[in-house]
A and B are shown apart, each in its own frame.
Chain A
Amino acid sequence: MTYDLALAWRNLRAHPVQSLIPMIVMALAIGLSITVLALSDGAKRGIVQASDPFGVLVVGPKGDGQQLVLNTILLQGAPLGTIPPEIYDNLAADPRVSLAVPLAKGDNIGGAPIIGTNANFFELRTSVNAPPAFQIGDGAVFTDDFQVVLGSRAAQDLGLHTGDSFRAAHGVGAGLEEDVHEQIFTVVGILKPGGTAYDGAAYTTAESVWHVHEHEEGEEHAEGEEGEHEEGEEHEETGLTAILVQPVGFAEANQIWQDFYTDTTAQAVFPGQELGGLFDLLNQGVQILTVVGYLVLGIAALTVFLSMYNSTISRERDIAIMRSVGGSRVNVFRVVLFETLALTIFGALLGRLLGYGMAAIIGTVITQRSAIPLPIAYLVNLEPLLWLLPIGVGVLAGLIPAGLAYRVDVVEKLSPT
């Protein structure tokens, strides 16, 4: 047995190219599957992690609920619009609500969105008994307009510290030089890292956000170029993009949801439900890529088979020699099967390096670009399958070549010609 293994190893090393190619194809097959699975797994856990602190309900403008949740929790895409601040006042006063947090997203500084909110934001928790999700690491919470608390990553990216000042740029995303407003903001605090998209944002009072817009509008009016401004627009500029609502109980959550169901300007959505829909979409993508993974695995199996078939044919004489010095059919069968298994196992091992490595790199890039955390973890549940599949495929691909070795006619193959 050990000798059969040693022989198999020796044979593989004697034909490095014939051995490496099927191994690499197998590594690609397993690597692809692991990349896809680890990324989708990371995306799901990242989204759950990112949405953890944001309460049970999100109230925002009418429209696509999924977009509202993505925009509010993951800070992805443009807001649906705004809702009147009175909705917040009502919710804050509602006895069914234990915590309501206003969010007014709009301006930005160097790509970091500025979110107008109030002190309630720092009361958000993942659960009743958990510590606040957004804790000040350095400095203090803002107490006045144009004071800003930076997310940990925003502070790092912008190179700003407590006490520094900056000007706000208009609009969503990186602003052009001309769009930079005159308004000066001062950094009063920096949050501890929380592992959510909110690490990449800046927080101030809602009034500060609205003031910037009013200021801008005033300028535009003075220039008299935007005559088509309507009455309502001023109102819209002082609106909220979303309200995070933590009802006192499950029944109250449903009641509030019901209340908004008939509302014409605002809606309430359960983030869990909307993200569930997102996961369905993600799963569909994963399913398609899984099929691709199976196809590549099939190709890998064929490559392994071809390589082993060829090497067995070209080694029939060696096999006959092994038989002639006392090796049994089972011995030579095992040598070929061990070789095939070694190819697939090393391929699968290499595939893991490749797969988790790729997933980690892609995950880091996505996190840097979108601020959505994408934690890559060992696929504990899928790992057994990801070993069984290549090994099963390896055994299948090795059976015919091993059978060839088993059936070698010793006397015929030993003859000089």
Chain B
Amino acid sequence: MNLRIEDLSHTYPGAEARQVLCIDAWALKDGDQILLRGVSGSGKTTLFNIVSGLLHPTTGAVYYDDRPLYGLAEAARDRYRAQHIGYIFQNHNLIGALTALENVMMPLAFARTLTPAAQRKRAIELLEALELSDYIHTLPKRMSAGQRLRVAVARALANNPRVLLADEPTAALDEHSGEVVIDLLQSTCADSRAILIVASHDPALISRFHQRVDLHAGQLHEAQWA
């Protein structure tokens, strides 16, 4: 799997229409693990939404294995997202009416690659790996922010994504929990040679990533670790 962005720009429609993103070219390949840094409002979430196929960019294109993501019909893009892209949202975005297990099973059900029994088994394994064995049937409102994040991580990993996007995954966590989560993301992606992009301004993470990209004034500034 390789991910390529070309001539991408995004401007949200509205009164003071300001260009949020302006990226000439960005190419990632299997196994890349990137730390995406940028101040608040620099466009990290916007970029993730575009890369995950949720937000049609104003101009430019996103390619997965040289196939333009936005060349797909919307339903096919939804399906592609379910099967290949894991997205851990900044605010977790768990469904309140569903238990941890049901939240994790959601992308499995939409991807339709496993039988319902296998979906359930996979979801339980993931929750156990994230030390949530006791919270499998718990609703999100009865969990701490860190536990909720771990459910979101499990959900993002459910379909063995080729690309994993994590938006501020450690923001709500104490140091130990943050490490557990980052460890899991990094080791999982290393094992499956998936692309991992973590958006964060947590300084503790800097030492853990060899590839680092700064998002500033809508542009990416690559900083290769020596």
Inter-chain contacts of A322 with B (CB < 8 A)? 95, 106, 110
Separation in Å of the A409 CB from the closest CB of chain B? 10
Query: Which one of B78-86, B124-132, B218-226 is at the interface?
Result: B78-86
A324-B87, A324-B89, A411-B49 in contact; A329/B74 too (CB < 8 A)? yes
- For residue B1, CB closer than 8 A to chain A, the reply is no
Q: Which single member of B52, B111, B116 contacts A324 (CB below 8 Å)? A: B52
In the complex, the answer to whether A323 meets B78 with C-beta atoms within 8 Å is: yes
- For residue B107, CB closer than 8 A to chain A, the reply is yes
- For residue A14, CB closer than 8 A to chain B, the reply is yes
- For residue B118, CB closer than 8 A to chain A, the reply is no
Which B-chain residue is minimally distant from A322 (CB atoms)?
Answer: B106
Q: Which single member of A10, A327, A416 contacts B82 (CB below 8 Å)? A: A327
In the complex, the answer to whether A326 meets B79 with C-beta atoms within 8 Å is: yes
Separation in Å of the A329 CB from the closest CB of chain B? 7
- For residue B97, CB closer than 8 A to chain A, the reply is yes
Mark contacts of B64-96 with chain A using CB atoms, 8 A cut-off: 1 yes-contact digit, 0 otherwise: 000000000011001101110001011101111
- For residue A410, CB closer than 8 A to chain B, the reply is yes
Inter-chain contacts of B90 with A (CB < 8 A)? 416
- For residue A318, CB closer than 8 A to chain B, the reply is yes
Cα–Cα, bound, A327→B155 (Å):
13
Inter-chain contacts of B20 with A (CB < 8 A)? none
- For residue A388, CB closer than 8 A to chain B, the reply is no
- For residue A325, CB closer than 8 A to chain B, the reply is yes
Cα–Cα, bound, A327→B53 (Å):
12
A330-B75, A410-B54, A411-B49 in contact; A3/B98 too (CB < 8 A)? no
Q: Which single member of B52, B75, B98, B116 contacts A2 (CB below 8 Å)? A: B116
In the complex, the answer to whether A414 meets B89 with C-beta atoms within 8 Å is: yes
Inter-chain contacts of B110 with A (CB < 8 A)? 3, 322, 325-328, 331
Which B-chain residue is minimally distant from A330 (CB atoms)?
Answer: B75
Inter-chain contacts of B89 with A (CB < 8 A)? 324, 414
Inter-chain contacts of A367 with B (CB < 8 A)? none
Main SS class of interface, A? helix
- For residue B172, CB closer than 8 A to chain A, the reply is no
Cα–Cα, bound, A166→B127 (Å):
84
In the complex, the answer to whether A416 meets B91 with C-beta atoms within 8 Å is: yes
Q: Which residues of A (298-347) have their CB < 8 Å from a CB of B? A: 317-318, 320-331
In the complex, the answer to whether B54 meets A324 with C-beta atoms within 8 Å is: yes
In the complex, the answer to whether B75 meets A10 with C-beta atoms within 8 Å is: no
Which A-chain residue is minimally distant from B91 (CB atoms)?
Answer: A416
Inter-chain contacts of A317 with B (CB < 8 A)? 93
In the complex, the answer to whether B87 meets A325 with C-beta atoms within 8 Å is: yes
Inter-chain contacts of A14 with B (CB < 8 A)? 97
A325-B82, A414-B89 in contact; A318/B107 too (CB < 8 A)? no
Q: Which single member of B55, B116, B155 contacts A325 (CB below 8 Å)? A: B155
Cα–Cα, bound, A324→B155 (Å):
11
Which B-chain residue is minimally distant from A12 (CB atoms)?
Answer: B97
A2-B116, A410-B54 in contact; A327/B97 too (CB < 8 A)? no
Mark contacts of A32-54 with chain B using CB atoms, 8 A cut-off: 1 yes-contact digit, 0 otherwise: 00000000000000000000000
Cα–Cα, bound, A330→B52 (Å):
19
Q: Which residues of B (44-65) have their CB < 8 Å from a CB of A? A: 49, 52, 54-55
5 A-B pairs with least C-beta separation: A326-B82, A3-B109, A14-B97, A326-B110, A328-B78
Q: Could you list which residues of chain A lie within 8 angstroms of chain B, going by C-beta atoms?
A: 2-3, 7, 10-11, 14, 317-318, 320-331, 410-411, 414, 416
Seed contacts A324-B81, A325-B107; 11 additional CB < 8 Å A-B pairs: A3-B109, A321-B93, A325-B82, A325-B87, A326-B78, A327-B82, A331-B78, A331-B110, A414-B89, A414-B91, A414-B93
Q: Could you list some 12 contacts between A and B, CB below 8 A?
A: A2-B116, A3-B116, A321-B93, A325-B81, A326-B83, A327-B110, A328-B75, A328-B110, A329-B78, A330-B75, A331-B78, A414-B93
